[in-house]
Amino acid sequence: MKLVAKTFTALNTLALALVTHAAFALDPATLYQRSSPAVVSIAAQNGKAFNYGSGFIADSKGFILTNHHVVGKNKQVAVKLTDGSIYSGIVVSRNAQVDLALVQIRPKKPLPSLRMQTVPPRIGQKAYAIGDPKGLERSLSDGIISRIDSSGLIQFTATASFGSSGGPLLDEDGQVIGIVRSGNPGTNLNFAIPAAAAINNLPGQRSIVVQQIGNYTLASSLQIRQGNYQKGLKILDEGIRRYPNNATLYLNRGAAKSALRDYQGAKSDYSRSIQLQPTSLAYSNRAKVYTALKQQQQALEDFTEAIRLNQGWGGSNLGAAFYSRGELQVKLGNTKSALSDFKQAAKFYQQIGNADRYRAALDQLTLISAQ
């Protein structure tokens, strides 16, 4: 079980950090092309019959999230990947109350996986579901988030039917915001378990301390998403009092302070987060604070370090870092460096199919070249 614990520690580090960059929406075709290879089909014995459902690869080493009601009481299930290969999956963790299960397969090579986003979605935002409704493998449907109850359960309008259970509910950036739990065809009564529950509620994978830190992160994120920054700060203050050496809590508190334009306070929190655990996101966020404080050289250095570290960021974040550093290079008169950065930004935006940001980077290149 040590390997599973390490996997969820890695997922926690990535997913529980409050994302502060602006999400650049993918068009549906690109989102599907990038996300569907990580969606799997699952078959589990149920007496003389089978339960059929969906799941998604949460870690490239072969860890798959799905619903507990899909795997039932089975210790082993059949997992079919997008290339048609079939694996025997071991159910390594389950939580019937939350309706979640973690399945492990042993692939011969790293698998495509999806990133988890534990910052709660907003009511009205676009959402996409990929799964096997009525056995139609990896079907894409779209809709909006229509309701979030007090427990965090997500109600959405994208189509979900028998077989969709366990599949991912994605935001416009292709990140998992929920695990589809149930759906009623012909209605808008479709529900998904929030992604944070997958990290916080599978037993045996994380220590109690890490669970508590996750709870502080999720509770504060809920408040911040709703614009209740002071309430979010209060929760994070309490979390930091209990766990003064956790980098994620300082990272999230820095984001809340930045939203309140307390840039000195945000800079202090980001610096502490970097001291505890240097990450691309922490450096990038501090660079934005330095930019707001008109400390351009420090911002330039932090963007450079964020790009150098590049710990699993992906196209949108890395493109944004190059773009922001390019803007700083222009202000500092570093024309050649600015051109290089905008070219890199355009490259990453083109790779992920973000046409608007790709054009913006090209416009910057044209503007600089014309001067």
Q: Please answer whether residues 215 and 75 qualify as being in contact, where contact means their C-beta atoms are separated by less than 8 angstroms.
A: no
Predicted confidence at residue 21, as pLDDT, reads 38
Q: How far is CA 154 from CA 45, 70, 89, 293, 309, in A?
A: 29, 19, 28, 38, 34
- The Cβ of residue 362 has, within 10 Å, a number of other Cβ atoms equal to 16
Closest CA to 125 of 162, 56, 172: 172
**CATH fold of the domain at 1-204:** Thrombin, subunit H (2.40.10)
261: Cβ–Cβ under 8 A, 6 or more apart, which residues?
292
29: Cβ–Cβ under 8 A, 6 or more apart, which residues?
353
Q: Please answer whether residues 240 and 250 qualify as being in contact, where contact means their C-beta atoms are separated by less than 8 angstroms.
A: yes
- The Cβ of residue 104 has, within 10 Å, a number of other Cβ atoms equal to 19
Predicted confidence at residue 274, as pLDDT, reads 94
CATH 1.25.40.10 residue spans of the chain: 208-370
As to burial, measured by CB atoms within 10 angstroms (0-12 exposed, 13-18 middle, 19+ buried), residue 333 is exposed
In 3-state terms, what secondary structure has residue 53? strand
Predicted confidence at residue 185, as pLDDT, reads 61
Please state the length of the chain: 371
Predicted confidence at residue 189, as pLDDT, reads 82
Predicted confidence at residue 98, as pLDDT, reads 86
Per run of 10 residues, the mean pLDDT along the chain (length 371 residues) is 40 38 70 94 90 91 92 95 95 88 92 81 92 85 90 87 89 91 74 79 52 74 84 91 87 93 96 92 94 94 91 70 92 93 91 87 91 77
Predicted confidence at residue 1, as pLDDT, reads 38
The DSSP secondary structure of 216-272, one letter per residue, reads HHHHHHHHHHTT-HHHHHHHHHHHHHH-TT-HHHHHHHHHHHHHTT-HHHHHHHHHH
| Calpha distance 211→153 (Å, rounded) | 19
Closest CA to 285 of 273, 277, 297, 275: 273
CATH 2.40.10.120 residue spans of the chain: 1-204
Q: List the CATH code of the domain at 208-370.
A: 1.25.40.10
Cβ burial 261-288 (10 Å sphere, 16+ → b, else e): ebbebbbbbbebbbebeebbbbbbbbbb
